[in-house]
Structure 1
Amino acid sequence: MSTIQEELEQTYEALKVILDDMGTFNYVVGEVFGAIDKDRSGHLGREELKGFVAKVCIDMGMKAVPEDRAMDEVFRDLDEDNSEDINQEEFGRFLRRLFIAQKDECAKALNKK
């Protein structure tokens, strides 16, 4: 098995564990949310979310980060209760969708059903 296949398999298995075990999922959500919540308010503001997305983009080697307009749209989508901030529950629903999509992509690449 090639290194890329091994990495995909490890990612797939890790995502499977995270998604199948609610305790593990909640732990991961809490850790990620806590890392983004710089002011420790228990909510994510627009600037915290923008900073997180910018860091992810840079870490992925992207030369540009999303424009403010695009970030505002993402923020509105995540802010399900229109409170002008994102709570951990809203963020958790977003991460679940993201992890499912990532797991599906890994499965597709590995020819899993």
Structure 2
Amino acid sequence: FTIHTIELKGADSLSAADRDRLLKPFIDQCLGVTQLNALLKAITDHYLGRGLVTSRAYLPQQDLSSGHLQVLVVEGRLEGLRPDPTSGLSDRELAMAFPGDIDQRLNLREIEQMVDQLNRLPS
């Protein structure tokens, strides 16, 4: 099908410029499975490049005969942190080691920083 418009749902952290840059090569093109997969990969790779390793682009079931494509982006978020009961780590220590915020997009760099901080704690 020739796709004339592409709608990104759930891509709240993407700027208008990023959206345009990612979508423009696919607009007004005849998209088959290979091209659709390339679009999803481009969007997902953009998130991965920003360290947002739990964010992914998906195609929901839809009718493409109208030339309108919907892409669903799930931006992975951190629900919470809790220490393993056998670790001896307190909730406070864990919270202080993590530089990010609960309910925010989960960034690999923040996870790496938390691991570094936890590794520095006396055992």
TM-score using structure 2 length: 0.29
TM-score using structure 1 length: 0.31
Which has a greater percent of strand? 2
Which structure has more relative contact order (CA 8 Å, sep 6+)? It is 1
Which has a greater percent of helix? 1
Structure showing greater radius of gyration is: 2
